[in-house]
Amino acid sequence: MAAGTCRTDVRYRVRGLRDCLNVDDFRTLARRRLPAPIFHYVDGAAESEHTYRRSLLAWDEIGMAHNALVDVAAVDTATTVLGQRIAMPLLLSPTGTARLYHWRGELAVARACAAAGTFYGVSMGSTFSLEEIAAAADGPKLFQLYVFRDRGLSIELIERCKGAGYAAVCLTVDTPVPGMRERDLRTGMTVPPAFGWKTLLDFAAHPAWTLGLLRGGRLRMGNLENRAEGRQDITTLARFLGGQLDPSVTWEDARRLVEAWGGPFAVKGILSVADARRAVEIGASAIIVSNHGGRQFDAGITPIEMLPRIADAVGGQIEIILDGGIRRGMHVLKALALGATACAMGRPHVFGLAAGGEAGVRQLLALLHAEIRRNMILMGCATIDAVSRSMITNDRIAGYPIHKGDLGMAAV
């Protein structure tokens, strides 16, 4: 070992949930339990996956200082997002086709979220219907919308959300067309599937996953049943959903959905100050600063790098949710310090679901909640509001000046 280095690569094996201490461990276990095409579908990203990797690494470039001798005997991690009081400033982003990862799919995630006291983002492409998911567990839920070519379908989904008691909806705006995900092309995870004999052998080598899939019955897209012609299987409905993506959507379309919903409304996929301001203008309650996990556009800046610019432009006018590369509770606190109201994560909870169903998601959320609380104590922050930009030690992030004047901390 070279002088001055610190060895951290302790050898260990992740055999089950008891061995999972962080998101990477859940990912390792998920990779073991899923057939390769399914794992790479969730783990992969667009084109060269450069943006995805940068979203993970950008956090390491942000330093924080702590305040000493602060009374942190009683720490409160709770906050309010989209009109709902939640136990921690972390919610789950919409991710589709959850039954591909565990046979209980979205129902398991909804129950885990309710137990953790936080928001569950329900995907347009969920394998259970939005009504079934709402009935599965209490707790606030956010439904993902698109502006479809058939505008009536978007309005119909809004009315269904009202009837099912959803707390909020979010409009995803960064998907005018699907991204080019090369891993899926190589594994045959396409619409329709193009699986070869090696893939079928891989399915056979994962009997627990295969039996679980069979146990759950026919794969569905519960929110779109009876919308497409022909068989109502997942391949037909996925093709229908892809065909409904409309590259002609404008901010006026988004405004109409805000008005039709009439409640807490988020716009997901914001990565510029100009678009953040437009979201304020149309009356949105929140923006989700996100690059879709790097699954769409492979030349985009990372959400955490854009966050301080956006927060300085619209902070106080709209809630700001940061979604991108969250893997630690400390990442959540860094985002809060840079102006986020809360954070959201997608892939990590899918890894938890694949690793252990509802129990896996519960454990993942509990670990991250504990990390948030522990680091708040270490930082000298008794409440979420006490986390501030003055604790950031960087002068600039992606070339943007972070501090306007004195940092205001003796520790820096």
Residues annotated catalytic, as ranges:
292
Q: With CA atoms as reference, report the closest residue to 298 among 174, 180, 177, 173.
A: 180
Q: How many Å apart are CA 295 and CA 297, to the nearest integer?
A: 7
Q: How many Å apart are CA 355 and CA 102, to the nearest integer?
A: 8
Q: How many Å apart are CA 231 and CA 127, to the nearest integer?
A: 16
Q: How many Å apart are CA 113 and CA 387, to the nearest integer?
A: 24
* DSSP-assigned states of every residue in 313-354: HHBTTBEEEEES---SHHHHHHHHHTT-SEEEESHHHHHHHH
Phi, psi torsion values for 20, nearest 5 degrees? -85, 110
Start-end of H helices in 216-346: 234-244, 251-261, 273-281, 303-314, 329-337
Both structure tokens of 354: 């694949």
Rounded to 10 degrees, the C-alpha dihedral 334/340/343/347 comes to -80
Name the region of 125 (left: φ>0; alpha: ψ -120 to 50; beta: rest).
alpha
Start-end of H helices in 93-192: 105-116, 130-136, 151-164, 182-187
Rounded to 10 degrees, the C-alpha dihedral 107/111/112/117 comes to 140
Strand partners, 336: none
Phi, psi torsion values for 265, nearest 5 degrees? -135, 125
Strand partners, 383: 76
Residues whose CB falls within 8 Å of the CB of residue 284, separated by 6 or more in sequence, listed in order: 254, 258, 265, 266, 267, 318
